[in-house]
Chain A
């Protein structure tokens, strides 16, 4: 499993980052995902990822901006493809940390293409890495 995880981390690091400015009382999803450190998740980050999972599972879309508690959407624009790729990597990272299968459940749904209002398609390289991990775990 280790080579897969190392490759996943490497993939995550290769996703281009942009300078995004933090805004008070606003949850900037792309900024949040960009700032996450693989495998080192604070409790509040786990809670936010949990709420993002709900967006995928129930609404099948993640928007760029929400209220700070993630309850209210503040934009109608879906996060970009790089952010969905980041999320996929972190769902594996957080599963390793928490052993909570609900994160893999969301990853599987993203891989299945459940997202609406999006042309997102998981890149072959990332899909292959995720599959490698899932085959070991499931």
Chain B
């Protein structure tokens, strides 16, 4: 199989299913990013092992150098939910696989221990090549200073912008527009306010198997949707963007968003249960 190497650097999260899914979709569509920065984002978890805990409190810089994080371990219930939520997609991804092999996705992979996007080590790597495109997959807020320096970061947000911006986009899209919506845009310092490249809406699939589980297991179900359902749409949408320009990201056309629209915040559990029941059952 021949792959087209694209002028793209994926800023991946070593432990994030979204990163894996983006890369898998690119791979299946015969694209390879020129490199992957595979980050162990340290902001998202505190050390668990005794030695690392001690190091963390004594010397943050040293801790960063030697930090390790156990791969995600999913319970059999969550693994079953992952399988269920992937049943309608062309590719099923093994999120439970330990020590996932990323080497087939790119010839150039760099592993990093990074606090977050404010980490000078990550920033200097990103700023070393501002002519390229980066793909955001996870890692928290990207500081304004990076955008001020002209960095181009692509993002696929689970909502039709400008109507669904902010947190819990997948759920708010379903509640306010009865569809799943995804938008690919250039990030800027605002919340989902960057220039729009492509967007598409999808009908949600039905999973009657979860109907009786929602009341008491809504949290596990909701997280499993975010881990194993939502990333497929991001992967699909991003692959379409790549295919539309045959992998030549310099040919992307983006339009400035209108200033109208809505910003949503974290959804309350009672509304989450309503959405899960009405949209997926």
Q: When each residue 52-90 of chain A gets 1 if its CB lies under 8 Å from chain B and 0 otherwise, what string results?
A: 011001100000000000000000000000000000000
Q: Is B28 an interface residue (CB 8 A)?
A: no
Q: Which residues of A contact B271 (CB under 8 A)?
A: 101, 104-105, 108, 138
Kindly state the interface size class of chain A when it binds its partner: 10 to 19
Contact between B175 and A138, CB atoms less than 8 A apart: no
Q: When each residue 65-97 of chain B gets 1 if its CB lies under 8 Å from chain A and 0 otherwise, what string results?
A: 000000000000000000000000000000000
B62: min CB distance to chain A, Å? 35
Stretch in contact with the other chain, from B3-11, B109-117, B259-267: B259-267
A70 to B264, CA, bound (A): 17
Q: When each residue 11-28 of chain B gets 1 if its CB lies under 8 Å from chain A and 0 otherwise, what string results?
A: 000000000000000000
Q: Is B270 an interface residue (CB 8 A)?
A: yes
Contact between B268 and A105, CB atoms less than 8 A apart: yes
Q: Is A45 an interface residue (CB 8 A)?
A: no
Q: Which residues of A contact B176 (CB under 8 A)?
A: 100-101
State how many residues of chain B have any CB contact under 8 Å with chain A.
14
Contact between B267 and A105, CB atoms less than 8 A apart: yes
Contact between B265 and A108, CB atoms less than 8 A apart: no
* Residues 248 to 281 of chain B near chain A (Cβ within 8 Å): 262-268, 270-271, 273-274
A138 to B175, CA, bound (A): 11
Contact between A134 and B270, CB atoms less than 8 A apart: yes
A58 to B264, CA, bound (A): 10
Q: Which residues of B contact A112 (CB under 8 A)?
A: 268
A4 to B124, CA, bound (A): 59
Contact between B265 and A105, CB atoms less than 8 A apart: yes
User: Which B residue's beta carbon lies closest to that of A100?
Assistant: B176
A20 to B143, CA, bound (A): 41
A102 to B268, CA, bound (A): 10
A54: min CB distance to chain B, Å? 7
A17: min CB distance to chain B, Å? 30
Determine chain A's interface SS by DSSP, over half rule.
helix
User: Which A residue's beta carbon lies closest to that of B274?
Assistant: A138
Contact between A101 and B265, CB atoms less than 8 A apart: no
Q: Which residues of A contact B175 (CB under 8 A)?
A: 101
A16 to B243, CA, bound (A): 63
A54 to B172, CA, bound (A): 15
Contact between A108 and B268, CB atoms less than 8 A apart: yes
Q: Which residues of B contact A58 (CB under 8 A)?
A: 265
Contact between A102 and B274, CB atoms less than 8 A apart: no
Contact between B266 and A57, CB atoms less than 8 A apart: yes
Q: Which residues of B contact A53 (CB under 8 A)?
A: 265
Contact between A102 and B270, CB atoms less than 8 A apart: no
User: Which B residue's beta carbon lies closest to that of A101?
Assistant: B175
Q: Which residues of A contact B266 (CB under 8 A)?
A: 57
User: Which B residue's beta carbon lies closest to that of A137?
Assistant: B274
Q: Is A125 an interface residue (CB 8 A)?
A: no
Q: Is A127 an interface residue (CB 8 A)?
A: no
Q: Which residues of B contact A37 (CB under 8 A)?
A: none
User: Which B residue's beta carbon lies closest to that of A53?
Assistant: B265
Q: Is A121 an interface residue (CB 8 A)?
A: no
A111 to B81, CA, bound (A): 31
* Residues 91 to 112 of chain A near chain B (Cβ within 8 Å): 100-102, 104-105, 108-109, 112
Q: Which residues of A contact B267 (CB under 8 A)?
A: 105
User: Which A residue's beta carbon lies closest to that of B263?
Assistant: A54
Contact between B270 and A108, CB atoms less than 8 A apart: yes
B104: min CB distance to chain A, Å? 41
Q: Which residues of B contact A54 (CB under 8 A)?
A: 263, 265
List the 4 closest pairs (A to B, CB-CB), nearest first. A57-B265, A108-B268, A138-B274, A105-B268
Could you list 18 examples of A-B contacts with CB < 8 Å?
A53-B265, A54-B265, A57-B265, A57-B266, A58-B265, A101-B175, A101-B176, A101-B271, A102-B172, A102-B262, A105-B264, A105-B267, A108-B270, A112-B268, A134-B270, A138-B270, A138-B271, A138-B274
5 additional A-B pairs beyond A57-B265, A101-B271, beta carbons within 8 Å, are A100-B176, A102-B262, A102-B264, A105-B271, A108-B271
